[in-house]
Chain A
């Protein structure tokens, strides 16, 4: 099951839609893991003739099916960090009329959205679709360190070791949710970690 219905939350929390084909001079599609399914659902031969797909499989095996769509450019890499230079170059060279499609986990969608915004694409013009894991990219509000793919609440900051409460408070600038120390007033009193949506 790659689709997840996020419960309603505060306005800061990103909401995701369904990718739809849009008229444009070029199509940049960035996805990870089950995000490939959203591309497979939206792809048309016309779109693929002008498409650049940047894909991070994260242990899934959608690569061959994406390649079979025959996009104008296809890249597959091990992590967002590994793809970052390519993504930066794709936005540097982009012209108006480019359509941006992001799908997969919140961490990759958020980071790619940040790159698109830096390039001058209005954030409201970027299409996003969540697929797959509900793991989050979290920023520790205390040490500012980022922990990727956080699946439990609370969790331990991978930088400073504080136990952090997973908030829905999101920063587009950081492309991360905020994690706040959960035992600040009563050190050591840390609730048992559960899945974020358990």
Chain B
């Protein structure tokens, strides 16, 4: 089977934090210990939503060295495809679920002399685990966290109580903004910056840091893309010799899996590169949405990332 190794777990706790965000805690169903992980790792949570299988990646926010349980925090997305709504409405204490072994696409560069974390909204979750890791290692870090309002500021109290000197919180509704240029200016050499949040924030941090002369290798970001719905299309899988239909609400990867073909994947969010698939033939247009392939590869018509990208046109033949 593709993807990281699976772990059968039982839901230990469901803790609503505010109007939008709920925390879920899992332990191994067989009573054993979970693997340790590194801050920034995510797990892919499998959901059985009626006939629809859903597999969504969520950042692990618990202590990476705590093997008794894992915790994730899920922000309800009323306009999404339904994974987060399913978690909020249908997952209860005692339920058995399947999650994947942790996979880290947003790990700390431990050569850094200082870690500078910038979070927007639910983007705080990977940093919660990274902060615990840095505290254990005795490393230098600083967090700048923007939330819409005090009421929606998940984990603000915990962060500001435990780390009054490191954690800095900004509330949108009080017109508080990160002065990014001033924040980046004067950081000691060897600082790495990490950003997780809305796309606009990620672009802003990447652009500003690059303009200030920060090396590309010192700028880290994580943005999970959720697959977007689109027009249905037909795909021929050449290796499996199957013709499949991709529905409006499902991703190409999900349609391939539904047809019984075992396709590689890890993040399911356009970031890790595992599901990269060679295009054998096509007539039509690709709707590339990943940030794995570069611009030249996107125009080449030779590759597609089926976890988030779609196709509009007559024929698409994949090497799968």
Contact = CB atoms under 8 A, between A and B. Distances in A.
A66 to B, nearest CB: 23
B191 A99 contact: no
Given A119-B190, A120-B189, A125 B211 contact: no
B185 A120 contact: no
A98 B112 contact: no
Contacts of A120: 111-113, 189-191
Interface residues of A, number: 17
A135 interface: no
Interface of B: 111-113, 184-191, 211-218
* Secondary structure of the A contact surface, majority rule: loop
A68 interface: no
29 contacts: A22-B213, A23-B211, A24-B212, A24-B213, A25-B212, A25-B213, A91-B189, A94-B189, A95-B185, A95-B188, A95-B189, A96-B186, A97-B185, A97-B214, A98-B189, A99-B213, A119-B190, A120-B113, A120-B190, A121-B189, A121-B190, A121-B215, A122-B217, A122-B218, A124-B215, A124-B217, A125-B215, A125-B217, A125-B218
Interface in A58-91: 91
A96 B189 CA distance: 5
Nearest to B109: A122
A91 B187 CA distance: 13
A125 B216 contact: yes
What 4 A-B pairs are tightest by C-beta distance, nearest first? A120-B190, A125-B215, A24-B213, A122-B217
B218 to A, nearest CB: 6
Contacts of B214: 96-97
Contact of B188 (A24, A96, A122): A96
Contact of B213 (A23, A91, A122): A23
Which of B187, B189, B215, B218 has the most chain A CB within a 10 Å cutoff?
A: B189
Contacts of B188: 94-96
Contacts of A119: 113, 189-190
Nearest to B215: A125
Contacts of A22: 213
Contacts of B212: 23-25, 96-97
A91 B186 CA distance: 13
A95 B218 CA distance: 13
B215 A25 contact: no
Contacts of B191: 96, 120
A96 B215 CA distance: 9
Contacts of A95: 185-189
A101 B218 CA distance: 18
A96 B218 contact: yes
Nearest to A26: B213
A121 B215 CA distance: 8
A120 B218 CA distance: 9
A96 B187 contact: yes
A63 B216 CA distance: 33
Contacts of A91: 189
